[in-house]
Amino acid sequence: MERADQKRRPLTVMASSSSQVAAARGMGMGMANPLAEWTGRVRSLEAGVRAWLAKQPTHVEAAVVTVAGAVQGAALGGLMGTLAPDGGAALPVPPPPPGADPKVLASFKQAQALAGGPLVQARNFAVMTGANAGISCVMRRIRGVEDVQGSMAAAFGSGALFSIVSGMGTPNPVANAITTGVAFAVFQGGFFMIGQKFSQPKSEDTYYSRGRSMLQKLGLQNYEKNFKKGLLTDQTLGLLTDSALRDVKIPPGPRLLILDHIKRDPELTRAN
């Protein structure tokens, strides 16, 4: 019995040690990249929230997006105000002189709006980013697409509210709010168009894909612009004649090659 127990003990020890190694490996694999795991969870939660918002009415989505944008803006503004020099004042602004001109007083107000401490900056950024996010959401729902018009409308609203809340534009806050909103809209529209131009690849013109392929096979790709100028799309390839190619200023030699290729290619002949 003792010998049997002694034989069993090494097996038991080996089994327990192997299970411990497997458990340790499992824990190691689970904790190998906690940052990636956390990022995946955040993205999954964000996708779920977006899917839920897409099913809600416009006012519900706009309210949620506005609050989220305001919270983010408040955090950013408070951080900027805290990290600024002079105890949270971004720019040291002297007090206005007594009996100052209203225009001079307005300039002081504008400087103070940009030089407040953490609470002032948090308030200003919360209003600005919250309004921008909410108006963008409403415009996207109304127009069905996120375009430059919606972006400029959101920027105008956020700029006008920022001007009013921050106290800029005294003694004529309405006019200054409109001016600030227009300035925000112009800048936002310009940045939107620049970003759209550089972030999105140039879409290929599908109306001339067969014609482009044909010209490349024949080594006549330089005449693609002639096809586009004459609106000779893929639907007209089977109808092309010598006179039609002459009208778009294609020389006789290339015209013969193009017409012969179309006769030999049944797909181009059947193109409608």
- Per-residue pLDDT reduced to its tens digit, 230-243: 999 988 998 999 99
pLDDT value of position 83: 75
Percent of the residues in the chain that have a pLDDT greater than 70, as a whole number: 70
Residue that the structure tokens 């006789």 belong to? 252
> In terms of Cα–Cα distance, which of 189, 186, 158, 161 is closest to 173?
161
Check if the beta carbon of residue 258 is closer than 8 Å to that of residue 218: yes
Cα torsion angle, 133, 139, 144, 148, sign: negative
Whole-number CA gyration radius for the chain: 34
Q: What is the pLDDT of residues 155-168, one digit of tens each?
A: 999 988 888 887 76
Helix (H) and strand (E) counts in the chain: 13, 0
Q: Does domain 205-270 have CATH number 1.10.3470?
A: no
pLDDT at 121 over 60: yes
Spell out the domain ranges in the chain.
55-88+116-199, 205-270
Kindly state the average pLDDT of the residues 175-195. Answer: 87
pLDDT of residue 24: 46
Tell me the range of 38-42, 94-98, 110-114 where mean pLDDT is highest.
38-42
- pLDDT band (50, 70, 90) for residue 91: very low
Contact by Cβ (8 Å): 193, 148 = yes
Is the pTM higher than 0.75? no
Are the CB atoms for 212 and 243 separated by under 8 Å?
no
Mean pLDDT over 120-145 rounds to 86
d(CA 41, CA 35): 10
- Following DSSP, what letter does each residue of 45-96 receive, concatenated? HHHHHHHHHHTS-HHHHHHHHHHHHHHHHHHHHHHHHHHSHHHH-SS--PPP
Tokens 């969870």 locate to: 41
Taking the C-alpha atoms of residue 16 and residue 232, their distance in angstroms, rounded to an integer, is 78
> What integer pLDDT is reported at residue 116 of this predicted model?
62
Q: 């919250």: which residue's tokens?
A: 130
Q: Is residue 98 predicted with pLDDT exceeding 50?
A: yes
Distance CA 88, CA 96 (A): 20
Statement: residue 16 has pLDDT above 60: no
pLDDT of the residue at 174: 82
